[in-house]
Structure 1
Amino acid sequence: MNKLSLLGIGCMLLLLFSCGSKNETCELDSDILSQDLDVEVVRLEQEFFEAETQEDFQYLLEKYPEFTKIYLQAYLYNSMDSLTMDLLQIHHDSAMQVLNDSVQLVFQDFTDVKEELENAFKYIRHYFPDFQVPKVYTFVSGFNSDLVVTEEIIVIGLDYFLPASHSFQPELPRYMAERYEKAYIVPMIVTAISSRYNQTDPRDNTLLAEMIYYGKSYHFTKAVLPCTSDQFIIGYTPDQIAESFANEEYIWAHFVENELLYETNPFEIRKYMGEAPFTDAISTVAPGRLGRWLGWNIVDDYVFNQDVSLPNLMRNSNAEEIFRQSGYRPRPPA
């Protein structure tokens, strides 16, 4: 029998007590939330779809220079006139109009996402006082861009985050498209922000180094969003999380027996780290990116056993040290 084919009673207990309850009973830190911080969210797609002429678009490009420069990449155009003409044609296209109407219906109220972002930014500033709050724009990209995250701005392509049941869907594999829903927006943004604090050793190109990198990213996201379910951080379903924990000993044995931790072949590394519907080298029912999930467990153990603060964790670029000092051992099935 395939080791990853059944959950079993022990796995179901693990799902209830390890994957669910820690989020259900979570409370955010009131001291952190008391910070004076406000996120400005500009519903830019509304202004762009209300524009009627090239002059209207010219006004918007001048009104939002960061968006024009970073997101629209105005420097690639011969002139602003050519950019405004393109925008005029795109936003007067009937299919784009219908897509925008759907977005406005689904995201009529954006206050919950704004509040979640504000709380996340307060947590980031608590750990990293130099963090500067970026301006947040929403947009309808025509499925050209899901998220742009820089230190200056964040642009959310709302059309990517329509419900999975919606008739408009991005051209993504199903296993990836399922992660593009509203609940994933803020975790995806926070994980992207983590990269600016996630120090690495550029000379270390092992599988272990990549595992630790992603482990630090997910640990950062969980620290900033402590009440967010793990499924929205790593993009596994609750069943996949439970199955992975129930088979952690088997997964770890595969890595050890095949001497994978110090593998440097990028094709081998991709089998365990890259986007895929499953980790075929282990099992066709094992979720993809299992190396990232395993790296998260190692980093969690390192932080717990060494009592390391989030800033110190992110500054540590020594993947080998993190692994050795983690004392990591697979959790036996319940």
Structure 2
Amino acid sequence: MRISGSRYLYFSFLLILAFACGKKEESCELSSAILDQDLTVNITRLEQDFFNAKSADDFKFLFEEHPEFTKEYLQMDLYPSPDTLASELLAIHQDSSMRVLYDSVQAVFSDFSDVEQDLENAFKAIKYYFPQFQIPKVYTFTSGFNSDLIVTDDVIVIGLDYFLPPSHTFQPELPRYMAERYDRPYIVPMIVMAISARFNVTNPQDNRLLAEMIYYGKTYHFTKAIMPCTSDQYIIGYTPEAISESFDNEEFIWSHFVENELLYETNPFEIRKYIGEAPFTDAISTKAPGRLGRWLGWNIVDDYQFNQDVPLDVLMAEPDAEKIFRESGYRPRKANN
């Protein structure tokens, strides 16, 4: 996935998918002050226009109609001319296997109104807390598993083929534990997490594990605040059973971090054990889910916001991971026996 703020940042969304715990359950309804804003999201189903194009001239017309998409997604600047890109796309979209994939996408996503509504509500919430947020244009596309999600200041492109059901014949070439998180309910949370990076202020000089934990903790806290009615499962990419088991073992997990003095670890290899994408955190147990550092970070950030009553915009603008940790009053929850 590609994310962009004032400058372009390119990295795969596969590495930012999240992890946290279900803790305090409060009313999930967004306020009328948020929902009553005059803001509408209309998702353009560009895969339909591109697969219906019959000639290179049809593609060049689409380039002119959707310049942001052409620049950010198709990367027109990398081609000698529009004719070259149009000819390449014409060949791709006439390929029989691509046609079969397109038909599958259209069957599964014939009605996209639920995603469109969820995204509109999310944009309203972001706009409410961060008035400077500008609403991007949103497109869907069938990329042949070339790109899952692109998020820039101006454009969002959803590669719908990546989000076919996990049981579908067509699947991206990903490990199973990751591919299962590419499903319809994850689309909007993924977008919101990507957008959160614009507001998530950090100290670039802080290279400790704690800083990574707090960064991801702020990311997931932001997503839950913007989408309070969304199950944690679709924010963190964990099964409900994994969430429950992690919560039950929080004391043990925290003691591992404390006893091994991990919070102030700066070795990238060691940090990756607790932050990086993996099916499990084998430094703790092969039964422990991956990215446990992110999970603890979310717990800490939640406690900080709750105990200090910090507004969302102030929380996201706080670069001091040490301050957030110290003032969170974080303590692991005791398992229910």
Which interval holds the TM-score relative to the shorter structure?
A: over 0.9
- Tell me the TM-score normalised to structure 1 length: 0.93
Amino acid paired to 1:100: Y
Taking the aligned partners of 1:71 and 1:264, their CA distance within structure 2 comes to: 36
Taking the aligned partners of 2:41 and 2:84, their CA distance within structure 1 comes to: 32
| Aligned twin of 1:87 | 89
| Aligned twin of 1:219 | 221
| Shift of residue 45, structure 1, vs aligned partner | 0.2
Question: Structure 1 residue aligned with 2:155, among 130, 153, 156?
Answer: 153
Taking the aligned partners of 1:248 and 1:21, their CA distance within structure 2 comes to: 15
Taking the aligned partners of 2:32 and 2:170, their CA distance within structure 1 comes to: 39
Residues 278-297 of structure 1: CA distance to partner in whole angstroms, max 9, x if unpaired? 00000001110110010000
Amino acid paired to 1:246: D
Residues 12-56 of structure 1: CA distance to partner in whole angstroms, max 9, x if unpaired? xxxxxx849938x63232221011100121000000000010000
| Aligned twin of 1:324 | 326
Residues 200 and 318, structure 1, Cα contact 8 Å, conserved in 2? yes
Q: Which runs of 4+ in 1 moved over 2 A?
A: 18-23, 25-28
Taking the aligned partners of 1:81 and 1:134, their CA distance within structure 2 comes to: 27
| Aligned twin of 1:6 | none
SS of the residue 1:22 aligns to: coil
Residues 209-243 of structure 1: CA distance to partner in whole angstroms, max 9, x if unpaired? 00000000000000000000111111111001000
Question: Structure 2 residue aligned with 1:22, among 17, 20, 25?
Answer: 25
| Aligned twin of 2:250 | 248
| Aligned twin of 2:294 | 292
Give the gaps of 5 or more residues in structure 2: 1-20
Q: Sequence identity, in percent?
A: 71
Question: Structure 1 residue aligned with 2:141, among 101, 125, 139?
Answer: 139
Amino acid paired to 2:293: G
Amino acid paired to 1:273: I
Taking the aligned partners of 1:325 and 1:195, their CA distance within structure 2 comes to: 23
| Aligned twin of 1:176 | 178
| Aligned twin of 2:192 | 190
| Shift of residue 113, structure 1, vs aligned partner | 0.3
Question: Structure 2 residue aligned with 1:127, among 121, 126, 129?
Answer: 129
| Aligned twin of 1:280 | 282
Taking structure 1 as reference, are residues 197 and 286 closer, same or farther at Cα in structure 2, changes over 3 Å only?
A: same
Amino acid paired to 1:22: E
Taking the aligned partners of 1:132 and 1:306, their CA distance within structure 2 comes to: 29
Residues 19 and 238, structure 1, Cα contact 8 Å, conserved in 2? no
Residue 299 (structure 2) pairs with residue 305 (structure 1): no
Residues 20 and 229, structure 1, Cα contact 8 Å, conserved in 2? no
| Aligned twin of 1:10 | none
Amino acid paired to 1:159: D
Taking the aligned partners of 2:22 and 2:299, their CA distance within structure 1 comes to: 13
| Aligned twin of 2:269 | 267
Taking the aligned partners of 1:312 and 1:31, their CA distance within structure 2 comes to: 19
Question: Structure 2 residue aligned with 1:111, among 110, 113, 116?
Answer: 113
| Shift of residue 299, structure 1, vs aligned partner | 0.2
SS of the residue 2:212 aligns to: helix
| Aligned twin of 1:37 | 39
Taking the aligned partners of 2:214 and 2:89, their CA distance within structure 1 comes to: 42
Q: Give the superposed CA RMSD.
A: 1.2
| Aligned twin of 2:7 | none
| Shift of residue 79, structure 1, vs aligned partner | 1.2
Taking the aligned partners of 2:184 and 2:53, their CA distance within structure 1 comes to: 27
Taking the aligned partners of 2:22 and 2:68, their CA distance within structure 1 comes to: 40
Taking the aligned partners of 2:105 and 2:305, their CA distance within structure 1 comes to: 41
| Shift of residue 80, structure 1, vs aligned partner | 1.1
Residues 207 and 262, structure 1, Cα contact 8 Å, conserved in 2? yes
Taking the aligned partners of 1:94 and 1:118, their CA distance within structure 2 comes to: 35
Residues 121-171 of structure 1: CA distance to partner in whole angstroms, max 9, x if unpaired? 000011001111100000001001000001101000000000111000000
Residues 214 and 292, structure 1, Cα contact 8 Å, conserved in 2? yes
Judging by fraction of residues, say which structure has more helix: 1
- Tell me the TM-score normalised to structure 2 length: 0.92
| Shift of residue 76, structure 1, vs aligned partner | 0.6
